[in-house]
Chain A
Amino acid sequence: MNDEFTGPAIEWARLWPLFAVFGTALVGVAVEAFAPRSARCLIQSSVAGVGLAVALVGTVLVALELPERAGGAARGDVTAGGAVVVDGPTVFLWGLLVVVTVGGLLLFAERRVDAGLPVFAGQASLPPGSTAGPGGPGEPSYEDWEHTEVYPLLVFALGGMMLFCASGDLLTMFVALEILSLPLYLLCGLARRRRLLSQEAAMKYFLLGAFSSGFFVYGMALVYGYAGTLNLAGVAVAVRAGGGQEVLLLVGAAMVMVALLFKVGAVPFHSWTPDVYQGAPTAVTAYMAAATKIAAFGAILRFLYVGLGDARWDWAPLLWVVAILTMLGGVVLAVGQTEIKRLLAYSSIAHTGFLLTGVLGLQASGDLAEGQISSLQAVLFYLATYGVATVGIFAVTTLVRDPGGEAGSVARWTGLGRTSPLVAGAFAVFLLSLAGIPLTAGFVGKWSVFASAAGAGAWPVVAVAITSSIIAVYFYVRHIVTMFFADPPEDAPVVVVPSPLTSVTIAVALIVTVALGVVPGPLLDLAGHAGQFVR
């Protein structure tokens, strides 16, 4: 163990999109330091935009060059001395993350919905109600300030997520978890309206996130105690070899899973979700709800499939229970909600349950019937449909406003279909997709994860999933009914006309949601083409 430390070889050809993202974030920090305040917003958003574009192009280029492995069942390389794995699922998730982040960026930059003001607070420490400037009364107010740091924070979070789902060992995974989490904690506290709620959300998210990270580290240590390595492929070798202190492995794996399940908001680790989703600025909620889930499911899949694939029968029963609890808990709690963002938060918990159902579909590739979709393919596809619809639906919620901010109460949306059919129509389509109604992307996503789980014998979970879907339809459709089949109130909220930034986000999400519902084939094939994880 006293060998001289040799730095790992970095395969730039595979990793450069990741570096491009981190580089963009660093440039953002430099801009924050050197550019004048008035020019920062434009420069920052442009820098982030260019960085994301480069990352997207880079992801595609890397994806095209991945070498085939295992006779074509997988493609990709283990890089950076085993710390980062760039394989098919990785690049698929990278692409998805970058696309969702572009949507987030567009929403971040929106300022027409709130009378020309940015969606973020002028100063993070600002208490509610204060508008006075830094020098006291008479100075330009904080209203005119803005936190342009949000752009580098967004890009940092993206970098963390990209690393998270590509981690080859638990240590990298932990570092990535922190890289992605810290910017999100900050972003949650920056809402311009309803400051207290926002700050409270950030605080809760941070405390609970830190708590769960502790589990991760401890679990990681126990796993190391069993396998003698943190590398997932190494853990897999140790599991296959058997023997040793198996309790260490099981307890360690359970603790790592606690942290990962916390990130995706699975019951009973979900309690933060509604509070944070509600308190965070909606643009951040949109981004976080979609991207965190994508990245964290990438990590869950990699941890369970690569590291613990051979211990499947140890963790599967547990995951059955968590999936069932998550689905039922999500939909049952959603039924009683009267706040739109909380409703969507519970809905996202239920979706976590559906995704876990898909994760349960793991089968050895030899057991897969001809033409059957693999669980990895199903989950990747589901993540795409969920991510797109989530960004879209939260974007729509920013448009309906009361004098004090967004009209958060479900009751305030009554009759919106009569006054603003376009906005209500878009919202309805996203709701239908989340409910999994045919001809929307959500239906194909649900169908694929259910089919995959049923194929692996998880019938009871699928039965609960279908029951939950039925309950979920109730609260989704109830909302559509109130929007379209009731008269609007006297003091109906204003529906603002957003700038092209938000409009484009909503329109693209809408088109993709419908297109994936009608012709899911190409994306399903792409997810299938990603193949297996590379060990």
Chain B
Amino acid sequence: MEKHPHLLLWKAVFVLIIIGLGFGVYASSKSIDYTWRWERIPQYILSTEPLEIRSPFDGTVTVDETNKLVTVESDFGDEPLVIKGFDTLLINDGDLVFEGDPLVETKHWNIGPLTWGLIMTLQLSVVSLIFAVIIGLFTGLARISSNPALRYLSVTYIELIRGTPLLVQIFIFYFFIGTVLDLDRFTAGVAALSVFTGAYIAEIVRSGIQSIHPGQMEAARSLGMNYVQAMVNVILPQAFKRTLPPMAGQFINLIKDSSLVSVISITDLTKAGREVVSSTFAPFEVWFAVALMYLILTGALSWAIQRLEKRLSASD
């Protein structure tokens, strides 16, 4: 790439435009009649809650000099209770305690509903991704097979899936196939997402394989490798590298598409967001927070794939 003149100037222009946009958003948020309550959001992501530890028996308390270690000697000869790692002390050295008396308090981290939603989205995406890659790989290979039955089957599958909306497929998977095969929500959701994404991955795999020079296959076969060995050792590793950028796009799409499974009552990040809105009455803040959490997932993924691309470019 040619180095642009006035590099610094144009970078400054970029920063200014971003700041301008940010200010515009801020100003417009002021102009509407809406009270922002950002403080309501964090507890739905992560919250703390005090947890008391109570004495299991009657006894005497000893606290060491550092206030870090509490020992309760039982009056009835039970094994003494030793407590370490707490946040607040509720008793003093030498106190007599009865069974059920609170001794110390620890802060207990509680994962909020938005984080649970994020975890569900992550689970959905990862499981669907694995199946989608497997489906896509085999469909892509079938697509370029010399066997007409395999070829037509894969074309039919790809065209059917790409030609219908994901939302409709999710309903079909949940209400029809889910009823026939007795699938739970999660399985139906994963099935719909992986079948959908698999069709796109199949096309990426096909174009990746076809972009490898036919001489590579000939060279591999001329060395005595059979078709499968040549594919696995020569063609696919090269195709994999070449298809990484479109794959990354597809994986990111998968993460975002997973928000559609909220229609079959899977509490993913989007559905969690909807639930939190109804309890906070702070829709703007919640949706911004949800968007940010999706961005974290997709951003991490595209960062990881860029790293992988860099590592694989060693042979270029």
A, B bound? no
* A interface residues with partner B (beta carbon < 8 Å): none
